[in-house]
Structure 1
Amino acid sequence: MDFDLPETALAVREGVGAIARKYDQAYWDRCDADKRWPEEVWRDLVAGGWHSLAVPEEYGGAGQGLLELAVALETLADGGAGGAAAFLYLLTPAFGGLTIARHGTAEQRRAFLPGIVSGELETCFAITEPDAGSNAIGITTQARLDGDHYVVSGQKTWISGLERADFLVLVTRTVPAAEAEPRTHGFTVLLVDVKRAVADGRLTYRPIPKFGTNTVASSLVFLDDVRVPVERVLGVPDEGFAVLWDILNPERILAAASGVGFGSLVLRVACDYAHERAPFGRPIGANQAVAFPLARIRAQVELARLMTYKAAWLWDAGRPCGSEANIAKLTAADAAWQAADRAFQTHGGMAYSLEYPVARLFRDARIAKNIPVAEELILAHIAQHELGLPRSY
């Protein structure tokens, strides 16, 4: 059993780390305060090809896997980006590049992947609805076949990055849930031309005011008879659930990588302050009440890193990884939150000062326990599928 990262992943860690070191916490604070996409970082990632790691070489990408994407995301988060790093690697590299490379037709790969590699084309993903969050089976956004087009109507919510996206990876129902047999039948995943749909007045959206992660907008989206050519179906019509799980498992694994990097970053922020702050003549980090909780979180972060790498390795190998993806996400999100909470406590009253990054990191850490899947549903999955207990939902 070899726990060494492959050379490809080590090169990713070095290259992305060099970019991360160019941007200090003040930069990320400004992006968050201004509700601004970190354009400079994104352009650096594109210029180095660090965003297109999972795109096959024939389309200009690096031809690597989910493990390399996870290491890139972890490195960027650890290097200072914190929670903002997740969106830089989920929206286009994963939802677009990884998904189209794996499930796109030859024509779709030729049409989309070179643009993703060059940075000229960006994507986002939409599954969540006002009445169907974690219950993906219950989505009602309908795609009706009309000649050589699907006509799509419905609502989506918490759709991040739509304002930047050229194409939306959209999960629809082509068979209503009540008529589907089995329940997973009747899903169709579409590539929607966002700018055309907006120009036609068929797609409108409204940003949702948020508590944190303000470097990217998240919106309520309305689709009103949006026309999508049949050649923009990802995978097989009515059988898109297989594509969906090939989106959701990598999403959870990358969310876990974000949590690992985030936890490592926040621990460093906390430890730096614990070294510097000496109100009683010695650093507060010398006190076990401060040091022991941080040491425990260090152990939690390391355990989450191991499971994240294992889940990514399994996915790259084409092996089942649902439980590992869920466990990685659960443990990494909790480690990141515990780290942020202890960093807040370590800073004492200064945690409330916006002169320090801890308040932003605290806000960004909390949402990871809820998205992309709530920890309660992960625990329900583990209880049912790993422990053999009765289904609870």
Structure 2
Amino acid sequence: MAYSNNDFEDIRRGVRGVCSQFPEEYHRKVDEEKAYPKAFVDALTKEGWMAALIPEAYDGAGLGLTEASVIMEEINRAGGNSGACHGQMYNLNTLVRHGSEAQKQAILPRIAAGELSLQSMGVTEPTTGTDTTKIKTTAVKKDGRYIINGQKVWISRVQHSDLMILLARTTPLAEVEKKSAGLSIFLVDIKEAMRSGMSVRPIRNMVNHETNELFFDNLEVPEENLIGEEGQGFKYILTGLNAERALIAAECIGDGYWFTDKVTAYVSERQVFGRPIGMNQGVQFPISEAFVEVEAANLMRYKACALYDAGQPCGAEANMAKYLAAKASWEAANACLQYHGGFGFANEYDVERKFRETRLYQVAPISTNLILSYVAEHILGMPRSY
């Protein structure tokens, strides 16, 4: 189904209402201080937006990924950065779709009430990157518990989340017929883990994005914290990863609109040689091209989300939406910075901050090259390249 930017107006109006309490000066200050926008995330939680994907039976809003993507889009379009809170959206779906009834009853109402947060997912490792099936973190079952050892990297929002979804290998790679088998996912109590087997090393980076390296040394996780069936974790984690890519696409679309709105207003007013610089086609064309690409990415975002919400395969569409949206937002960012001239580099205009933020999505959560490889193999039928 195709949607337009006039759809979901109640959601857009509600999210904008929260965002209006946190103007760009707020996000600029958070960025300058390398801080976490806790007050902003708390406000979104209080208004129920962070529980959008929790079914009504567990006190959530019972919305779909489509609506969740609109929430993320509006945050970025308002000048914020959904990277501070988007993890709860895609992590929730893994728990909702694959968690036991006992797990959902115990956890989801508390997340909906703002008593718990599920912002963090531990998948990536230093030596494997996106080659997920070869992760080395292990979980060995013993006396009703799993003993976890290993290392993760680029794990976001650990310091600002109560729970984490963790992927580990429960059956050695050499003992499985298919390399994606033998992986399992666990729900980890972060505060408890930091007291008994998990250490955290923050990674400073060019974007104010709280991310970390994790080390597990005989971390004990109760057997009941296993999500779904042992050995099926790779299949389960794709539920979260496909949602993540569609949501990131929506965030990039929000960024793209922010950049095009910002630069359009600026070039229409900025006078050089006695005329607005926006009268020049050399200025108009890159901005227009970026806007066209944002609009096209928007359609693919809605297609991916519609398939996800219908329970249909959407890996190709989620990947393509993320690729198109990340590319479009980056082109819009370049145009916005270029035609602001020197002012684009001034903190007070917020262009340089948003420029850095949107650049991330060419690399993560999956690089553009990996998406192209996916399309080549799984859609076009070319030989596997890796």
User: Shorter-chain-normalised TM-score: which range?
Assistant: over 0.9
* Residue number in structure 2 paired with 1:159: 155
Q: 1:59-208 residue pairs with structure 2 within 5 A? A: 59-81=58-80, 84-89=81-86, 91-95=87-91, 97-123=92-118, 124-200=120-196, 202-208=197-203
Structure 2 counterpart of 1:287 = 280
User: What's the offset of the Cα at 1:2?
Assistant: 5.4
For 1:164-216, what per-residue CA distance to the aligned partner results, in whole angstroms no more than 9, with x for missing partners? 1111100000112233211111010001111111122x11111111011x1x4
Q: In the alignment, is the contact (CA less than 8 A) between 2:41 and 2:84 conserved in 1?
A: no
Asked if the contact 2:2–2:302 (Cα under 8 Å) also holds between the matched residues in 1, the reply is no
Give distance in 1, aligned partners of 2:39 and 2:267. Answer: 31
Q: Is the 8 A contact 2:3 2:302 kept in 1?
A: no
Distance in 1 (CA, whole Å) between partners of 2:60 and 2:38 is 21
Work out the CA distance in 2 between the residues paired with 1:188 and 1:217: 25
Deviates more, 1:144-153 or 1:14-23: 14-23
1:278 aligns with 2:271: yes
- Contact 1:86–1:254 (CA<8 Å) still a contact in 2? no
* Percent identity between the two aligned chains: 38
**Deviations 1:130-185, CA, capped at 9 Å, x for gaps:** 00111111111000001200000000000010011111100000112233211111
Counterpart CA distance in 2 for 1:134 and 1:93 is: 21
Computed over aligned residues only, the root mean square deviation of the Cα atoms, in angstroms, reads: 1.5
Name structure 2 gaps, 5 residues minimum. Answer: none
2:204 aligns with: 209
Measure, in 2, the Cα distance between the counterparts of 1:171 and 1:240: 7
User: What TM-score comes out, normalization by structure 1 length?
Assistant: 0.95
Moved over 4 A (4+): 4-7
Q: What is the CA-CA distance between 1:66 and the residue it aligns to?
A: 0.7
SS in 2 for 1:11: helix
Aligned equivalents of 2:83, 2:297: Cα separation in 1: 16
- Quickly say closer, same or farther: Cα 1:3–1:363, change in 2 above 3 A: closer
Q: Secondary structure at the match of 1:23?
A: coil
Partner Cα separation in structure 2 for residue 352 and residue 73 of structure 1: 26
Per-residue Cα deviation, 1:302-346 (whole angstroms, up to 9, x for no partner): 010110011011000011101000100000000111111111111
How far, CA to CA, are the matches of 1:2 and 1:157 in structure 2? 37
- 2:188 partner amino acid: V
Any idea what SS the aligned residue of 1:285 has?
Answer: helix
Residue matched to 1:325: 318
Matched to 1:190, the amino acid is F
Question: C-alpha separation between the residues in 2 aligned to 1:382 and 1:266?
Answer: 28
Query: 2: distance between equivalents of 1:25 and 1:364?
Result: 14
Deviations 1:217-261 (A, max 9, x none): 100110111101111111110111121110110011111111111
How many residues are matched? 385
Deviation, structure 1 residue 360: 0.8
Distance, in Å, in 1 between the alignment partners of 2:146 and 2:262 is: 50
Gaps of at least 5 residues in structure 1 are none
Asked whether the 8 Å contact 2:2–2:299 carries over to 1, the reply is no
Alpha-carbon distance in 1 for matches of 2:365, 2:315: 14
User: CA 1:142/1:2 → structure 2, altered by over 3 Å: closer, same or farther?
Assistant: closer
Match of 2:290 in 1: 297
Matched, 1:308 2:305: no
Contact 1:270–1:342 (8 Å) recurs in 2 = yes
Quote the offset at 1:113 in angstroms.
Answer: 0.5
Q: Is residue 47 of structure 1 aligned with residue 28 of structure 2?
A: no
Q: In structure 2, what is the Cα distance between the partners aligned to 1:274 and 1:41?
A: 31
Is the Cα–Cα contact under 8 Å of residues 36 and 84 in structure 2 kept in the other structure? no
8 Å Cα contact 2:316/2:375 also seen in 1: yes
Distance 1:305 1:233 in 2: 36
